[in-house]
Chains A and B, each alone.
Chain A
């Protein structure tokens, strides 16, 4: 099993550009989430999904969209990139509530 696969690993964007961070898992997990990790701020929840067709906002959703058309995929879209979105983004999945997450290896995004 590949686990949770995130692409790309690194990305540089110009302010105002849009892009999609890809996340795929092959463990048939129902729950998937996107986090961003910033120095001194810890991991903050952007959006999450408890199953295909169901998404909800986390702590810092502004500027990001998600969709969950399949169990396997949970892409994160940046609508109009801003320097404040420079961060490391992690996708994670898990089987159900009260189980632990499996994290991807992250996407390091820089917005200039």
Chain B
């Protein structure tokens, strides 16, 4: 079973602060995805990273895929209350019809005004 360890599990910060969420595994992934989930809703895709060392930016969010494709990070600059939510990373392995997408347990972020 592939495991994805997310840290921290909970994070409460003030508006304007920066933060980083980590996603680590001993497995190599063909892609790493980040999602954000609001209460009572399904996860919403933020980004997919595929290449080792890849960095993608989405406004104030920066995503990085580790060189060995085993880990990833999400950095938020100048957090806002609207960033509050559950952030999930998910690692994908695929080969022919053998396919798995494994989720971490998530980081619950609260940004206080």
Contacts and interface: CB of A to CB of B under 8 A. Distances in A.
Interface of A: 4, 31, 33, 35, 40-45, 48, 50, 54, 56, 58-59, 90, 92, 97-106
B93 to A, nearest CB: 9
B25 interface: no
B92 A97 contact: yes
A45 B35 CA distance: 16
Given A4-B42, A43-B90, 19 more contacts: A35-B103, A42-B105, A43-B103, A44-B103, A45-B100, A45-B101, A48-B101, A54-B97, A56-B98, A56-B99, A58-B100, A97-B31, A98-B30, A100-B45, A100-B48, A101-B43, A101-B101, A105-B42, A106-B40
Interface residues of B, number: 28
Contacts of B98: 56
Interface of B: 1, 30-31, 33, 35, 40-45, 47-48, 50, 88, 90, 92, 94, 97-106
Contacts, number: 67
Contacts of A106: 40-42
Nearest to A97: B94
23 contacts: A4-B42, A35-B103, A42-B88, A43-B43, A43-B88, A43-B103, A45-B101, A48-B99, A56-B97, A56-B99, A58-B100, A90-B42, A92-B42, A97-B30, A97-B99, A98-B30, A98-B50, A98-B94, A100-B33, A101-B33, A101-B101, A103-B43, A105-B41
